Amino acid sequence: MQKLISDYVVGLVDGEGSFSVYVRDLSQSKEAKRRTRIEPKFFLKLIEVDKKILYCLKEFFRCGHVFFQKDNRPNHKNCYRFEIANRRDLNNKLIPFFKKHPLKLVSKKKDFQLFCKIMEHINLGEHLTDNGLRKLYQIKRKMH
């Protein structure tokens, strides 16, 4: 398997990566579509022919999973997705890597900073209260 270097990973994530947080909107219906209150994750999606790189990312970070993602939309190809959703891995592997090796794109850098801020609040347990969750929802809304 091809060994990735830090600069390559930064460039790849700048172009194709996503720092994402699902936060339940408490102003919506009380019937939640998802049981979770908050779900931070990092992912990177590539078309099927490039999926080998995703397995290299999994090896590089020593965590995460690679998933098949079917796409039925016209003019779209099936994809594979590398994802890190485990909070311990996000805190101990992903975040320290990008703090040491900063992203270059301003928009991606901003999303990463907001992602880190949300993770700090989660680590303090603020997501467990309705007020804390509302605060995190407002931060999440600033992400791309």
Span 39-92, pLDDT tens digits: 999 999 999 999 999 999 999 999 999 999 877 777 778 899 999 999 999 999
Distance CA 119, CA 97 (A): 15
Task: Give CA separation, 68 vs 14, 42, 57, 80, in Å.
Answer: 22, 16, 15, 5
| Sheet of 17-23, strand order | 17-23, 38-47, 79-84, 65-69
Predicted structure pTM score: 0.89
φ/ψ of residue 20, rounded to 5: -130, 145
Count up the domains in the chain and report the number. Answer: 1
Supply the range of the domain harboring residue 81.
6-140
The answer to whether the CB of 67 falls within 8 A of the CB of 57 is no
Distance CA 25, CA 28 (A): 6
CATH number, domain of 93, equals 3.10.28.10
Q: Is residue 69 part of a domain?
A: yes
Q: Is residue 105 part of a domain?
A: yes
Task: Give CA separation, 38 vs 20, 25, 34, 76, 142, in Å.
Answer: 11, 10, 10, 30, 16
Q: Is residue 1 part of a domain?
A: no
Span 78-127, pLDDT tens digits: 899 999 999 999 999 999 999 999 999 999 999 999 999 999 999 999 99
